[in-house]
Amino acid sequence: MQYAVRRPLLTWLKTQPVAGRRVLDVGCGDRPYEPLFAGATEVVGFDRPGNPYADIHGSIEAIPVEDASFDVVLCLQVLEHVPDPGAAVRELRRVVRPGGLVLATTHGVYPFHPNPEDLWRWTDTGLARLFAENGEWSSLAVTPGAGTALTVAMLVAHLADLFFKRAHVRPIGAPLVFGLNAAGEALDRAVPLLRAPVPGSLNANFHVAAAA
């Protein structure tokens, strides 16, 4: 069900300049993206207390590291779960070095997923304002991940998966989910306007690159 988020996210992360840099992964979870940062000098995982995969623990509003101590700060699929996103962005800005980079991703349109809480959804302009009002940046870019067609395919696939799951025949639905994702991705690729954040568009996820 996460293809519309994960596929564009992985493609975007592979283009980011992390080689030779010290990286902080805020809200690291089980560190699924770490293989993409093999060229980094160090990757430090931070998360809430109780996460055995994290190197350090605490609150995102008070990350226990020194000011300006990392070259790249990641915050991937975390902001939608944070009670105070503005405070979180200020903290991301605090811990990144001058000339460093904050890379954040979060949802635009996505099914409710409390983990433990699911609090927010954004537009590209809303995310741009969130970052601009909570830090000084030399550059700030917010771009959509999946376009409208793949996002709609994700929502239809989610409903189909729920139906098959509750009918206890979930594997039967797998080809339908695959086909929906493939069709949505192909349509987005064929029609550039579907990938743009324009009035009426739907975007499952947004990618933020904020340079300190």
pLDDT band at 115 (very low <50, low <70, confident <90, very high): confident
The domain that contains 52 carries what CATH number?
Answer: 3.40.50.150
Torsion on CA atoms 70, 21, 60, 109, rounded to nearest 10: 140
What are the start-end ranges of the E strands in the chain?
A: 22-26, 42-47, 56-57, 70-76, 96-107, 139-144, 205-211
pLDDT by residue (tens digit) across 9-60? 999 999 999 999 999 999 999 999 999 999 999 999 999 999 999 999 999 9
Give the type of residue at 7. Answer: R
pLDDT exceeds 90 at position 7: yes
Average pLDDT (97-122) is 96
- Does this model's pTM top 0.85? My answer is yes
Structure tokens at 109: 């349109």
Residue 102 sits in the same domain as residue 142:
yes
Q: Parallel, antiparallel, or unpaired: how do β-strands 42-47 and 22-26 relate?
A: parallel
Give the CA angle between residues 148, 78, 122 to the nearest 5°. 40
β-partners of residue 42 are 22
Long-range interactions of 44-48: CB distance < 8 A, separation 24+: 44/70
Give the type of residue at 77. Answer: Q
Residue span of the structural domain in which 15 resides: 3-146+199-211
Q: Check: CB of residue 18 under 8 Å from CB of residue 73.
A: no
pLDDT exceeds 70 at position 61: yes
**pLDDT at res. 1:** 67
Residue 128 sits in the same domain as residue 158:
no
Residue 134 sits in the same domain as residue 175:
no
Can you tell me whether residue 83 is helix, strand or coil? coil
Residue 152 sits in the same domain as residue 56:
no
**pLDDT at res. 159:** 92
- Number of structural domains (the chain) is 2
Residue 89 sits in the same domain as residue 160:
no
Residue 55 sits in the same domain as residue 8:
yes
Give φ, ψ of 110 to 5 degrees: -165, 150
**pLDDT at res. 116:** 87
**pLDDT at res. 198:** 93
Mean pLDDT of the chain: 95
Residue 83 sits in the same domain as residue 176:
no
Residue 80 sits in the same domain as residue 170:
no
Residue 104 sits in the same domain as residue 10:
yes
Residue 94 sits in the same domain as residue 142:
yes
Residue 188 sits in the same domain as residue 119:
no
- Dihedral class, residue 190 (left if φ above 0, else alpha if ψ from -120 to 50, else beta): alpha
Residue 88 sits in the same domain as residue 120:
yes
pLDDT by residue (tens digit) across 159-206? 998 888 899 999 988 999 999 999 999 999 999 999 999 999 999 999
